[in-house]
Structure 1
Amino acid sequence: MTNVQIRKVTEIEEIYAVQKLEKQIWGMEPIPVHQTITAVKNGGLIVGAFAGERMIGFSYSFAGFSEGQSYLCSHMLAVDQEFQLMGIGKLLKDEQLRLAREMGYELIVWTFDPLESRNAYLNTSKLYGVCYDYIVNCYGEMADGLNKGLPTDRFQVAWWITSPRVNECWQPINLQYMCPFTVRLTNENHPELQLPEENDWLSAEAVEVPVPKHTQLLKTEDSQLALDWRLKTRNLFQQLCSAGFALIDVRRTEEAVQYYRFCKLSMIPLQNESSEPIEN
């Protein structure tokens, strides 16, 4: 890791390298360079990870504005497969946070597939983002390898980069997490979610929801079961968001599932003292 350099990208030649990596990882047409250059010149940001002269990862974000709140919309984060599971995604996000603060941002948002527990762990347990918005079929049908076969549901991450949640690595203490959901293994040893008959779990102070550990493998080997997970968890996550919960952490296990942890949004210190409270 000492040979990996993380830095801001502004030169057009390096933006072409972003295009090349984007196409390599997702197998689809990349964003036009004229668009990314314009975004970077108008409040956006590209951060690159380099091994020598070779770009091995990047994050791309552009300026956003909604309901009186300006923010940085982090649209893509990618790491070359050869260099994955080395912490480079975290390094890219750390530099994005540092530069975004310098630019005057307090909030960075992005989306991820709710069934990708590795992404959820990075976003909530390591970066201390929170998720309280669930978007159904966010991008419509997508044909690339990662997204093909399932509705493109997404959690939106809210990364309040000047808040105690992020600056102090805040996690709740001594919460009692309820998990009324059970998981059974199919004959092929794939996890299947079993739902309770009652939804009294919504009155709990905190809730755990299981998700598959290997969704891409599940999609390949049992597409109907993968769809079953999507539809069941969609319903659960929508109910939790509507009831004022937010995803804050992932409890990792050696089982076939990981556990997403939700607590009440009102508990989480998302604003610094000078900021107005958010509305949910």
Structure 2
Amino acid sequence: MKQVQKLEEEVWHMSAIPIHQTITAVKNGGIMLGAFDQDKLVGFSYGFTGFDEKQTYLCSHMLGIHPDYQDQGIGAKLKEAQKRAAAEKGYELIIWTFDPLESRNAYLNMNKLRGICSTYFENCYGEMEDGLNKGLATDRFKIDWWINSDHVANNETIDEILSLEGTHLFSWETVNNGLPKLGDIDQGLAAFSESKLPLLVPVPVNFQDLKKADHDLAIDWRLKTRRIFQQLFKTGYAVVALQKTTQLPVHYYVLTKLESLNI
């Protein structure tokens, strides 16, 4: 647990969770897993028990990888290990949150792990001062990972969804130094109608770079995508995948009807 605290500080540059809290959580249904290089902790996942008046689930609170070990697939391996450990304890659902404008996290959470999102938390954690969140509302997607479902077990699920031609409702353009800007969303929201085809919503390829280059533009993306997802979720849609592009400054979230998924 002391190693976890040290790694927390190295990854997020903020105060670590007290050891007495993590130990108590793990002794009461929580799960703490570590990835090691010899004796050195280089990654961890931490979750504790949650309950929403309907069922018990694992709330996956933190997934941290040492900066020198990122982009090596360690995060995905930790999540798979977490899924196995959770299943052994009898959990069927694991939840966690992430910033919907962080497309790299979206690809792991949805395309690789096959989590889904139909819940949007507005300014979930209030004002935060760490490097990733400072100066911007902490809006979050809530990921539902139904670890025993056909949607998660079937490796072809996401490929089938991505193979369909999606509907583009919202336009974007490039502005300062090639940065993407989302256009007027009112027309797209007004013209929205239920479709058998997936809906596509653009998000920046690298939101942190965009925020550093143009903070007002970052706020514009936050406020517009907030409205989009809140309205689409109310009409029964869920985000199920990220469609990557190769030459564009945006990727696309893919949304389908929640009721159509095998969860």
Instruction: Give the TM-score normalised by structure 1.
Output: 0.89
Using the alignment, how far apart are the partners of 2:108 and 2:227 within structure 1? 23
Matched-pair contact (CA < 8 Å) for 1:114–1:153: yes
Structural mapping, 1:127-206, within 5 Å: 127-169=113-155, 170-171=157-158, 172-173=160-161, 175-196=164-185, 197-198=187-188, 199-205=190-196, 206=198
Please, which of 217, 223, 242 is the counterpart of residue 225 of structure 1? 217
5 Å matches for 1:17-56? Answer: 17-56=3-42
Look up the SS of the partner of 1:203 in the other structure. coil
Task: Give the alignment partner of residue 87 of structure 2, picking from 93, 101, 117.
Answer: 101
Q: Which residue number in structure 2 is paired with residue 274 of structure 1?
A: none
Higher helix proportion, which one?
2
Rounded to whole Å, the distance in 2 between the matches of 1:143 and 1:187 is: 26
Partner SS for 2:96: strand
Identify unmatched segments of 5+ residues in structure 1. 1-14, 271-280
Contact 1:28 1:144 in 2 (8 A): yes
Letter matched to residue 56 of structure 2? S
Runs of 4+, deviation exceeding 4 Å: none
| Contact 1:149/1:219, CA 8 A, preserved across alignment | no
Please tell me the root mean square deviation across aligned C-alpha atoms, in Å.
1.1
Q: Deviations over 1:17-54 (max 9, x none)?
A: 00000011111110000000000000000110101100
| Number of the residue aligned with 2:256 | 263
* Residue of structure 2 in register with 1:68 after alignment: 54
- AA aligned opposite 1:60: Y
Cα distance in 2 for residues equivalent to 1:22 and 1:179: 39
Length, aligned pairs only: 256
- Hey, what does 1:248 align to over in structure 2? 240
Equivalent position amino acid for 2:107 in 1: Y
CA deviations 1:215-239 (Å, max 9, x no partner) are: 1111111000000000000000101
1:187 Cα offset (Å) = 2.8
Secondary structure at 1:188's aligned position in 2?
helix
